Amino acid sequence: MTDKKIKIHIRNNHWKAGSLPCDLEGEINNTITKEIFEKKLKVFPEVKDKIEYLIDWDDDNFESSLSNSDILLGWNFPTKEIKNIAPNLKWIHVISAGVNHLYPFDWMSEKCVLTNSSGVHAKKAGEFGLMSILMLQSHITKIVTNQKNKEFISLLSKPIAGKKVIVVGTGSLGGSMIKHIAKLDVEVIGVNRKGRSVDGCSKVITFDKIDEVLPVADFLYLAVPQTNETIGLIDKKRLDMLKPSCGIVNIGRETVLDYKALCEKLKNNEIAGAILDVFSQEPIPKESELWDTPNLIITPHVSSDSEGNYVEMVLDIFFENLKLFLENKELNNLIDKKLGY
């Protein structure tokens, strides 16, 4: 790198319906303030004198600032004409793990790299995942439905040992949950793109082999990003392969699972229960059938966000990468532009 300072444009987003953050709490939790940025900068004194930065909101100074920026740090931003708007842009870091909202990446120049914040969600997501599976094992989705209907019905359950949990997506989110659930003497079968082995799994298969394990699943846990390979992965045909006693959790993306078909199966008692944390439109419209579907618990996209220190954890990843960037080394958490994750 030359003696010229590296410029970072930091884009915060005000909350609005249909986007993330989708409420004020989410906005607060995802905002990179000058105070937080400077606090983290003190931990990395070796980069302090080599950078300059602008913290901004939405489109306030987006085009003018990006015109001479080397790095963009944020979540959602307009991609049209960005090659012309930001000719010096070399690196974009997204403050979430998911980058599907920016796909396909044909708007990026070849010289520009994209990284995400994968790993920052792992601890919280693992605990949420364990909780969700145990809730399904204890019939909590049905108990909540009975409560709404003012029905006091005893629903007994056994310890979870011996059950089969199919985990689709064994990266940082799914892998974190697997470490917890595997300690409870369940059989965990992992599903990922390459069939690579995962600690805690009795076996791991590729996506194209998923039909072999769906009929034996006691729980189906979905933790995959939205890609061309995962869109529509669990469609009606595959839902029909599941046992009526199976429970489903989705913390990945709605596009992976056919929610309409799932609602029908829940209404017909053909699926034991479901916990859904992700939705293509957030907040969910008030007229959505999801709200009134029995044996379904809706959580408002909170499975993996840590209260209070989320941005600080993101900045830990960003600054470690910034050190590598300044040293002309390969960055961590690189997104494969062809695969979409």
Residue range 322-335, pLDDT digits in tens: 999 999 999 999 99
- Residue 202's nearest CA partner among 247, 229, 234, 163 is 163
First to last CA, the chain: 28
**Do the strands 164-168 and 187-192 form a parallel or antiparallel pair, or are they unpaired?**
parallel
- The pair phi, psi for residue 54, each rounded to 5°, is -130, 125
95 vs 305: CA distance, rounded Å: 11
Mean pLDDT of 70-79: 95
pLDDT band at 139 (very low <50, low <70, confident <90, very high): very high
Residue 153 identity? I
Tell me how far apart the alpha carbons of residues 130 and 73 are, in angstroms, rounded to a whole number: 32
Residue range 153-173: average pLDDT? 96
Q: What share of the chain in percent tops pLDDT 90?
A: 80
Q: Which two tokens stand for residue 45?
A: 């004194």
The label of the residue with tokens 């869109």 reads 231
In the chain, how long is the greatest CA-to-CA distance? 71
- How open is the CA angle 330-332-337, to the nearest 5 degrees? 85
| Residues 340/191/157/182 CA torsion (nearest 10 deg) | -100
Which domains does the chain carry? Answer: 6-120+306-326 (3.40.50.720), 122-298 (3.40.50.720)
Give the confidence band of 246 by pLDDT, cuts at 50, 70, 90. very high
Strands 203-206 and 91-94: unpaired
Which percentage of the chain shows pLDDT scores above 70? 98
Among 94, 96, 224, which residue's Cα sits nearest to residue 171?
224
Band (18; pLDDT cuts 50, 70, 90): low
